[in-house]
Structure formats: structure tokens, C-alpha cells
Structure 1
Amino acid sequence: MTLRINRRRGDREAYLARLIDAGHEARLCTHSPDGLVLETPCDVQALPGFAEGDVSVQDEAAQLTAELLGPCLAPRPGGRVLDACCAPGGKTAHLLELFDVDLLALDSDATRLARVEDTLARLGLSATLLHADATQRDWWNGTLFDAILLDAPCSGSGVIRRHPDIKRLRRPSDIPRLVELQSRLLDNLWPLLRPGGSMVYATCSVLREENDEQIEAFLARTEDAIATTPQEVSWGRPAGAGRQLLPETESHDGFFYARLKRQG
């Protein structure tokens, strides 16, 4: 069970001490500076300060989104950020815990979007929530974004260790449909990014057609897009223009990330 501390309310070393005092065995995550791992899972209400917003449950790999967007957001307080496909809101909340930004959180599923609202309320955070389809632009007011997070719908093949039912529910025919949806999302959202702005594309997949092959095709057809995914980080392995994390027992899920910059 992996946790993410709310850095607006403390640091992880102090929270680790609180966990130990409460009788929980825990350790610091290897890659995320905000992550801790509980050796034995427990009900969230048994976590010190959970109800008050001190901590959330989030896989370590998912926490790395903030590490990739950090260099784009930290120098621009008040920057305009779009979190497309935002539900259930873990990445939304993490960005707001770390950066003072004007964030629009968008999702096509109204029920899941309500979970984002609940999460932000517990953490004492604020964003504009919008029920809309990110493959369309009828919701957009015409103002460009400084940064975009596209946590794209995917096969979920990287989280099978925690959700083994995916193997039973997912069909081979689903993959081409998801790849086509991811492509449409990339093409629709890219023009909404200001020149010089950055997009992070993320999936919880280990399939190349959803990950490095998807980004390779996007870069080939998008003249003003360049990859800026860092290669000096300690997590994952190079995968085309991005980085691929494979699932690790007792550690993190499988994830793919690519950071792209709009030239101009």
C-alpha cells in the first residue's frame, strides 16, 4: 500500500515517524520524494491525519507525474494547467499540493469526476472541475494552457498486479480502439498548449502501441512537438521518446511517461 504525503501539510520523514508511532511499519519510496510504502495495508481511516488531508493513497509510479511537470510549473506561479481525463483525481491533487496553479480538471465520466471533487475537498485544495469530452473542444474558452497532463485511457496492463480482473475483462480488440482514442486525444489537445508549454502523456500500460509507438507516431505528424522526457532519472528505462516503468512486486505499477514541448 503506497501513500503520498500532502506537502502543504508536512514532509514525508515527519509522516513516517507518525506512522511508526501509530504502530505501522513503513519505508520511504525509492523514486517519489512524496511517497511511502506501508508494509501491511490498512483501512485509510486508520492512517494518521487521513481525514484531515495529510496523506493519500497513490501508487509510486503515478506520483512521478509531478516530477515531470515540476520544471514546467514551478517557474510559473498561477500558470494555467489542464488535467485531461483527470478522474479519480490523484494526479490532480498531487499537482495542487506542490504548485500554485490555475488548474482545470476535465473528465467525461460525471460519477468519477465527483470522486475528484471529494478528494480535493478532503485535501483542502481547489480546482475548476468540468464534465466534458477531451476529444472535443466545445468546452474550451480559447485561452491556451501552460501545461497539459494527458493521463490517457489505456489497457491498464501495467496495473494487473493490483487488478487481476483486467486479464479477464480486457479483449484483444480493445487495444486498437484505445490506441485510436489516445491518438485523437493527443491531436485534439495539442493545439490548446501555448508555444513553449509542455504536455505530459501518461498511461498505466506496458504495451508499446499505447506508449512509445503512440508517441513516435504523434511526433512524426506534429511538426512543432519535440520530446523533452528526462533521461538522467533513476526510474524506468528508455522507451523511444519516453520512459517505461515495468511492474515491480512490493514497489510500483507499470507506467509510461513522455514529456513533450510545443515549439514556437
Structure 2
Amino acid sequence: MPLHSSFDPDRFQPHDAWVTPSARRQTIRAFIDGYCAAHDQSAAAVSAFTYGYAVHFQPGMGREFEHFVIETPASQPDETFPIGAWVTRFGQADLPPELHGHMQPLIDEHLMLADIGALPHEAALIDSTWLRSEHEIAAFNASGRFPGFAPNPRAFLFSVKIDGDFAAAARYGITTDGDIVIDRVATAEEYRRRGLASQLLSAIAAHARRANARNALLISSHAGEPLYRRAGFTNLAPVAVAKIV
């Protein structure tokens, strides 16, 4: 289901995506869909549980399982959470007592949402940043500056080049319901503080508007949150990522 089944731009409130259990589940299911598309993982198996969702990735993700915990479960068997799996918790959700003391924290982040129609967008940036050909993507991957990109029909890669060097990059995956998930927004250290990430966001927003996409989701680091807030994203919930050990 889409994040908002009857979207009205005059009444759109991003907070609506998080106020009820059903809205939270709907939002995270959309995030998983777009996130998997961005990583060429559309064939990953997604299972629903009382706490949220479990994703069994195909090879290439660096981890086999990731659990997206939205609600605190009353009880959950140990075998549902295998050792080595990632656990991504949203908001105030907690883990079953049997997992306490068996988690290695990885990173704290923020789940954010925006109406694509309200984001800054510049169509002229699409042609200069969108890497669409096999040759362009192969050169990007060969540079080793950023995580590699696996082409697929539901994922789009963007990069700013300076003097032939890949200086910044971002990608997005489009969900089956017409929302997008922005991922891997990064700028090489020597090119930071030049507004390159903002250029990529503007290009992505313009490109997604052409596809009639409505909402954009992303998970931001603490450092990146101000950039996305300035662009028009709303902070929905804190995110804590850990690994089961």
C-alpha cells in the first residue's frame, strides 16, 4: 500500500506516516521496498511479524538478515533473530528480553520523510548527474570512491564529477507504489562543503517528479540530518542499528 492512499497536497502532514501502528508498518514496508530496489535486492524475502519485518537478503548485502523492529513484541523466540543479523529499531520499540545483552550497537540514525512536490528540484541537473549508461556505471564502480551500484530497473544512480573525478554520489530506489527511498548520499572528503549533496537531492527530486513519485523516505546520520531538514524532510523517528552477537 502507498504511504497515503488519498494524497492531498493541501492536507499532507508527514507526521501522519508515524502516528498509528498501521501507519508505521505501512511506512516501514515502503522503506524496505525502496531500499531493496536501491540495492538490487528486489528478490529479497520479506516476512511480517508482530514486531515489524524480517528481510532475508540475496548475496551481496554484507549481511543475510535484517530485522526492522517497529513495535515492542510481547515475546519472540530466539530462533527468529539469528546471530549475525542486523536489528534496526525505530522510535521507542524495544527488543524481547532474551536479546538484551546480546546486541552490538552499530549506529544511531534518523528516519525522515518528505513530500517530493515540496522538495527543491532542478531539472537541468538531471542530465549532468544521472549515470544511466553501462559505461558510466562501470566507470563509477571502477573508481572505488563510493559503494558500488548494481543496475536494475527500479534504481537510479546520480553523481557530481569535478575535473573527471567522482566527487559526490547518491541513489534512489522506487517502490512498487510510487514512492522513493534515497540512499548512499555521500561526498568525498576533499569536496565537502560545496553544496554537492544538495545538488544531488535536487536532481533526484526532479527525476522522481517526472516519474510521478509522491513521497521520499531516507535514513540519515546525525551529521546529515540538518541537510535533509533544510531541504524539506521531516524527522519521523530515531533509528538504532545493532548486530546480534
| TM more than 0.5 | no
TM-score, normalization: structure 2?
Answer: 0.30
Q: Which has the higher contact order (CA 8 A, sep 6+)?
A: 2
TM-score, normalization: structure 1?
Answer: 0.28
Which structure dedicates a bigger proportion of its chain to strand?
A: 2
